[in-house]
Structure 1
Amino acid sequence: MNNAILVYASMSGNTELMATYIAEGVREKEIQLDVKECFEIDPEELVNYDGIIIGSYTWGEGELPDELLDFYDEMDHLDFHLKKSAVFGSGSTLYSNYGGAVDLLVEKLKQIGADIIADPLKIELTPTEKDEIVCKEFGRQFAEKLIAS
């Protein structure tokens, strides 16, 4: 059976809400999924999972939030070859680098060998009812691709 983890950083609750919706979509496909905030897990634990989903809000002009910086840096020495991954996050289009943290996480995962199996998902601020549907579908599609691999 495939197992997956969803790790996220959230300040205002927007990314946490996205994580909840995405997790619902993944679990609909009967994937064993653990959900944790980034400070609850050591990045080395990620290698124990077949699928890895990481979510973050974007701080300022496209930066990672402070609570994710150590986690992000500690991923440098990990080998994610054969790991299926996806990234999501909330942001604001008021900034020129909308959802920049999502882009940084995608690049990090690629650098350490992960196979990105879903297009990155960015949601403007608080997820709407329409965004809830999009998040759940993101989770379902991730799970389907994980199962198929």
Structure 2
Amino acid sequence: MKAKIVYASMTGNDEDMADMLEEDLQDYGFDVDSSDVSFTDATDYEDADLCIFITYTYGEGKMTDELVDFYEQLKELDLSGKYFAVMGSGDRTYGEHFCENVFDYQKAFIACGAKEITAPVTIENAPDEDDIDAIDNAAKEMNEKLG
């Protein structure tokens, strides 16, 4: 089973999440490829069975240029028959905008025809022990459904 993880990380928190998830999925026997959004084309998802996007939400939910570019590419794809998961970090001081980009990408994957495999994992800032458990549990759920 091929998994493609694309992450966007301003502070390193989301890259850490991607690294944790990659290790978990590899432990379950997935063939995982991870890359930074700046060096990835959304069409890379076409070669994967499981498409994962991990992003930060900056401020009041406005996407940075790198996120907008990838988002626009993603919306053009047909990912029918594929599974997806989204994760990301944000800051609760922004209220209703907390992890807004995670949910924007969730909607984009659904619009592309992909099937959500697990609920979004959202964390505040850097992953703590509970967040690591949530990432581990998401990987376990992915494995149970696809492994």
TM-score, length basis structure 1? 0.92
Report if aligned partners of 1:22, 1:137 keep a CA contact under 8 Å in 2: no
Structure 2: where are the runs of 5+ without partners? none
Are residue 106 (structure 1) and residue 106 (structure 2) matched? yes
Counterpart AA for 1:104: D
Deviation at 1:92, TM superposition (A): 0.7
Report if aligned partners of 2:75, 2:109 keep a CA contact under 8 Å in 1: no
Provide the secondary structure at the position in 2 that maps to 1:6: strand
Report % sequence identity: 34
Counterpart AA for 1:115: K
Counterpart AA for 1:121: V
Are residue 77 (structure 1) and residue 68 (structure 2) matched? no
Between stretches 111-120 and 68-77, larger displacement belongs to: 68-77
State the distance in 2 between where 1:13 and 1:141 align.
Answer: 25
Counterpart AA for 1:109: F
Report if aligned partners of 1:25, 1:138 keep a CA contact under 8 Å in 2: no
Report matched runs for 1:34-113 at 5 Å: 34-96=33-95, 97-113=97-113
State the distance in 2 between where 1:109 and 1:41 align.
Answer: 16
Deviation at 1:74, TM superposition (A): 0.9
Deviation at 1:114, TM superposition (A): 0.7
Match of 1:141 in 2: 141
Report if aligned partners of 1:24, 1:136 keep a CA contact under 8 Å in 2: no
Structure 1: where are the runs of 5+ without partners? none
- Across the aligned residues of Structure 1 and Structure 2, the Cα RMSD in angstroms comes to 1.2
Runs of 4+ in 1 over 2 A off after TM superposition: 63-66
Deviation at 1:29, TM superposition (A): 0.8
Report if aligned partners of 1:15, 1:89 keep a CA contact under 8 Å in 2: yes
Deviation at 1:10, TM superposition (A): 0.2
Instruction: Indicate how the Cα distance of structure 1 residues 95 and 73 shifts in structure 2: closer, same or farther if over 3 A, else same.
Output: same
State the distance in 2 between where 1:140 and 1:26 align.
Answer: 8
Deviation at 1:39, TM superposition (A): 1.6
Report if aligned partners of 1:4, 1:49 keep a CA contact under 8 Å in 2: yes
Report if aligned partners of 1:8, 1:37 keep a CA contact under 8 Å in 2: yes
Counterpart AA for 1:103: F
State the distance in 1 between where 2:63 and 2:143 align.
Answer: 26
TM-score, length basis structure 2? 0.94
Report if aligned partners of 1:58, 1:91 keep a CA contact under 8 Å in 2: yes
State the distance in 2 between where 1:143 and 1:6 align.
Answer: 15
Report if aligned partners of 2:55, 2:89 keep a CA contact under 8 Å in 1: yes
State the distance in 2 between where 1:52 and 1:71 align.
Answer: 13
Match of 1:130 in 2: 130
